[in-house]
Amino acid sequence: MLHSVTTFTDFILEDEEKYPQAKGNLPLLLLQLENAVKIIASHVRKAGLSDVLGQTGKVNAFSEEVQKLDEFSNSLLIKTLTSSGQVHTIVSEELSDAHVASPNGSYDIFFDPLDGSSNIDTNNPIGTIFSIYHHTDNLLKKGSEQIAAGYVMYGAGTVLVYSSGHGVNDFTFDPAVGSFLLSHINIKIPQEGNTYSINEAYFPKYSDPMKQFLSQWKEKPKASARYVGALIADIHRTLLKGGIFLYPTDSSHPEGKLRLTIEVNPIAFLVEQAGGETFATSSSPLDVTPQHIHERSPFIAGSPTNVKEYKKYV
Ligand code: AHG
Ligand code: MN
Ligand code: MN
Residues with CB under 5 A from ligand 3 (ion): 93, 112, 114-115
3-class secondary structure, 245: strand
Rounded to the nearest integer, the mean pLDDT of the chain is: 93
Distance of CA 280 to the CA centre of its chain: 16
- The tens digit of pLDDT for each residue in 187-230 reads 999 999 999 999 999 999 999 999 999 999 999 999 999 999 99
**Architecture of the CATH domain 195-313:** 3-Layer(aba) Sandwich (3.40)
Q: Which of 55, 56, 250, 257 to mutate to test the pocket of ligand 1 (most atoms within 8 A of CB)?
A: 257
β-strand 179-184 against 107-115: which pairing, if any? unpaired
Paired with 253 in beta bridges are 250
Whether 57 shows a pLDDT value over 70: the answer reads no
Q: pLDDT band at 177, cuts 50/70/90? A: very high
Q: Which of 231, 244, 252 to mutate to test the pocket of ligand 1 (most atoms within 8 A of CB)?
A: 231
Q: Where are the domains of the chain?
A: 8-184, 195-313
**Backbone dihedral region for residue 96 (phi beyond 0: left; psi -120 to 50: alpha; all else: beta):** alpha
Residue whose CA is closest, atom 14 of ligand 1? 229
Q: Tell me if 300 sits within 8 A of 308, measured CB to CB.
A: no
- Report the nearest atom of ligand 1 relative to the CA of 64: 4
Report which bound ligand comes closest to the CA of 119: 1
* CA terminus-to-terminus distance, the chain: 54
Q: Name, in order, each residue with C-beta under 8 angstroms of 158's C-beta and a sequence gap of 6 or more.
A: 37, 41, 152, 172, 173, 180
Lowest mean pLDDT among 21-30, 49-58, 112-121, 295-304: 49-58
Distance, CA of 39 to CA of 33 (rounded, Å): 10
- Report the nearest atom of ligand 1 relative to the CA of 201: 19
User: What is the whole-number distance in angstroms between the Cα of residue 219 and the centre of ligand 3?
Assistant: 35
Report which bound ligand comes closest to the CA of 229: 1
Residues with CB under 5 A from ligand 2 (ion): 112, 115
User: Residue 1's pLDDT is what?
Assistant: 46
Concatenated DSSP letters for 157-208? SEEEEEESSS--EEEEEETTTTEEEEEE-S----S--SEEE--GGGGGGS-H
Q: Tell me if 64 sits within 8 A of 94, measured CB to CB.
A: no
Whether 28 shows a pLDDT value over 90: the answer reads yes
What pTM does this model have?
0.95
User: What is the whole-number distance in angstroms between the Cα of residue 127 and the centre of ligand 2?
Assistant: 8
Report CA Rg, the chain: 19
How many C-beta atoms surround the C-beta of residue 75 within 10 A? 13
- Report the nearest atom of ligand 1 relative to the CA of 234: 11
As to burial, measured by CB atoms within 10 angstroms (0-12 exposed, 13-18 middle, 19+ buried), residue 121 is middle
Backbone phi, then psi, for 261, in 5-degree steps? Answer: -80, -30
User: Residue 52's pLDDT is what?
Assistant: 54
Decide which of 2 and 11 is more confident. Answer: 11
195-313 has the same fold as 8-184: no
Whether 292 shows a pLDDT value over 80: the answer reads yes
Concatenated DSSP letters for 108-123? EEEEEEEE-GGGGGGT
The DSSP secondary-structure symbol of 217 reads H
Concatenated DSSP letters for 74-100? HHHHHHHHHHHT-EEEEEETT-SS-EE
Residue type, 7: T
- The tens digit of pLDDT for each residue in 80-110 reads 999 999 999 999 999 999 999 999 999 999 9
CATH of domain 8-184: 3.30.540.10
User: What is the whole-number distance in angstroms between the Cα of residue 111 and the centre of ligand 3?
Assistant: 9
User: What is the whole-number distance in angstroms between the Cα of residue 23 and the centre of ligand 1?
Assistant: 35
**Backbone dihedral region for residue 295 (phi beyond 0: left; psi -120 to 50: alpha; all else: beta):** beta
Show the ligand 1 pocket: residues with CB < 6 angstroms: 93, 112, 115-117, 199, 229-231, 247, 257
Residues shown for the chain:
314
